[in-house]
Chain A
Amino acid sequence: MDVLTKIPVREQDAKERAANFEEVCLGYNQEEAQAEATRCINCKNAQCVKGCPVAIDIPGFIQKVKEGNIEEAYQVISRDSALPAVCGRVCPQETQCEGRCIRGIKGDPVSIGKLERFVADWARENGIKPDVSAEKKGKKVAVIGSGPAGLTCAGDLAKMGYDVTIFEALHEPGGVLVYGIPEFRLPKKAVVAEEIENVKSLGVKIETNVVVGKSVTIDALIQEEGFEAVFIGSGAGLPKFMGIPGENSNGVFSANEYLTRSNLMKAFDGNSNTPIMHSKKVAVVGGGNVAMDAARTALRLGAEVHIVYRRSEEELPARVEEVHHAKEEGIIFDLLTNPTEILADEKGWVTGMKCIRMELGEPDASGRRRPVEIPGSEFTMELDTVIMSLGTSPNPLISSTTEGLETNKWKCIVAEESNGQTSKEGVYAGGDAVTGAATVILAMGAGKAAAKGIDEYLSNK
């Protein structure tokens, strides 16, 4: 075995998977995992741990895998992460733990993400649950939102002995893990529902169908329902549109709507009662992970799919792995292209999209080269569907109904990075509601920091 090269992970064949919603990556088996684990040199001053927003003892769990003691490896990860089967699948490891791995200087870094996934899947298949705290603090904490930030915060607080209730606006817990990320990247029943069960097994209660700000306010939770602290992990909800003519035509969707119909409402499956448009030719506007998810979903529903992005491939914000998978499956990338108008027939149905070619100019404030229009390069794409994947902004439902909760000019809730403390006493926040759209693991890191902050606050109260 060449120690410089990682053990490859098995994947579903690209042609085959382009027509189904089964998981793309098949993961390691125990033999492969143990072989990969031997590549870890167990650094004393482990850089990978510093790259992990929730600071998992990575060399610690990998040593256990090396020894073949997978159950202990799981307990090592569980001390710091409530959602290892999720993180092993959707974390951008290449810029975090694996990006700092010493092995990566000369050769491939250790496949930390795939090892984490293997350990979490093994634990689930063998009925292993995270250790439960015996201590009870007798204090109630409310967590708003059951996405990655909320689940992590709730799990950590429950482990410390707090009585935690999560309030979820939708009918199913999981937040973006359920409505946003597709089945073929993150199986809902097998992985997400099981990890949520694990959080519940720590004693966390989940009340669905509660829209905080509408069904109940934060002040009512504190004053009438006896919660002594509140964590807001409500995510970044509102989809952005371009503001170009024709955007309200039939066949233009936000990526949020398209993905929610397919993922949360299971519209991809014939048994669901929620409809989704079965398109022939789709343009997904945007280049992030959500754009890739929407494009690959539309492809699986039978469409020819184009990614339309105004910068070049180098600037695509999506993970390299996602772009690679999308290309393998047959997604067409129309880069340096920007839509200017959506065309529709007399009944309002999309027939096409006017675009203009772009070139890269001087760097802008973000440091990326600014795309500028090439005069006279307009052209029209024929389409029946356009999916706008331009990012999201925070939902004002909570900030507008909670007195004394400070927000910034982007309407994000202002919170201390180190402990999640907001401008309102006893109220903490983290995840996309604070940062704007980011990643699952960053939200988890914020949930974890806030759990510590809440514990300090309630311990001194």
Chain B
Amino acid sequence: MYKIVKKEELTTNIYLMDVEAARVAKTCQPGQFVIVRTDAEGERIPLTICDYDREKGTVTIVFQCVGAATHMMAELKEGDAFQDFVGPLGCPSELVKETPEALRKKKILFVAGGVGAAPVYPQVKWLHEKGVNADVIVGSKTKDLLILEKEMEAVAGNLYITTDDGSYGRSGMVTQTIKDLVAEGKQYDVCIAIGPMIMMKFVCLLTKELGIPTVVSLNPIMVDGTGMCGACRVTVGGKVKFACVDGPEFDGHGVNFDEAMRRQTLYKTEEGRAMLKLQEGDTHHGGCGNC
């Protein structure tokens, strides 16, 4: 069992947890992910690693309640434990392979959307520790849904916050901020965009136009996370890749986002049914179409 030593509600429906997982904490790198299960009947849920403490042997995860499985996760309290917590899975971020000298010469832009701020954070922090200051754009629907602002501020070179409704920071989508920064004369050698699939798609369309190589982190449907099932296959540059072992990070300009978004809807109906069953609990008697 993997004990939850800290739990925090970052904002409505978005939670942060520090979990005891010594093996994962010892070897994980920015860009990698874990798979967790709440209980013996639980689904395997992939989550990008948000932070880690090698000495304490803990790994930080951040998740948003979107379906039955994540709601069950949110019900766990400090002191409770996950049934399973396996990782680190996937390849580390490409940045990790470069020398600090090479990185310091680069102008790096991170673009985070919503809960995507969580997987962006360890990369920005890792760079900061190597003396590399990257610019970070964090986009959120509204001020209330913004997460990790202080943490990000402490490690980012420049932090640009934008909200869709203009309730905080700049106003509009992250793509608008990218355009504005470039118009202000900013130049970037590489962009790392992590967030909802639709955001990554539009960031990539823009950065392709602007000639900025862009890396995205994909979070498709997975089962085992070790390359065994092929559920997570995505088309990148016309070739089929498995996000769990070949990714999760890919060249964003090569990703077939439309296909990836279609594949994410595969179990939508089943997920909806599971959610209904969870919400209604013992009072659930049909209505889900399954019973």
- Identify the A interface with B (CB < 8 A): 169-171, 179, 208-211, 214-216, 237-239, 241, 243, 247-248, 250-251, 253-254, 256-257, 260-261, 265-266, 270-277, 347-348, 395-397
Contact = CB atoms under 8 A, between A and B. Distances in A.
A145 to B, nearest CB: 11
A261 B44 CA distance: 10
A250 B229 contact: no
Interface string B47-84: 00000000000000000000011001000000000011
B226 A395 contact: yes
B86 A273 contact: no
A273 B290 CA distance: 13
Interface stretch (B95-103, B185-193, B261-269): B261-269
A247 B240 contact: yes
Given A256-B228, A266-B41, A275-B270, A397 B245 contact: yes
Q: Give the size category of B's interface with A.
A: 35 or more
A455 to B, nearest CB: 28
A253 B262 contact: no
Interface stretch (B121-129, B146-154, B207-215, B230-238): B230-238
B37 interface: yes
B27 interface: yes
A216 B230 contact: no
A71 B264 CA distance: 53
Contacts, number: 115
B185 to A, nearest CB: 41
Given A216-B27, A248-B235, A275-B274, A348 B262 contact: yes
A247 B230 CA distance: 11
Given A210-B86, A241-B230, A271-B41, 7 more contacts: A171-B84, A211-B226, A214-B27, A257-B229, A260-B228, A273-B69, A277-B267
A61 to B, nearest CB: 35
Contacts of A251: 266
Contact of A169 (B86, B235, B263, B267): B86
A170 B233 CA distance: 20
B89 interface: yes
Given A169-B86, A209-B84, A211-B87, A273 B42 contact: yes
B161 to A, nearest CB: 34
B88 A273 contact: no
22 contacts: A169-B226, A171-B83, A171-B86, A210-B23, A238-B230, A238-B242, A239-B229, A239-B230, A241-B230, A247-B240, A248-B233, A248-B240, A257-B223, A257-B229, A257-B230, A260-B228, A270-B291, A272-B41, A273-B68, A275-B267, A395-B226, A396-B245
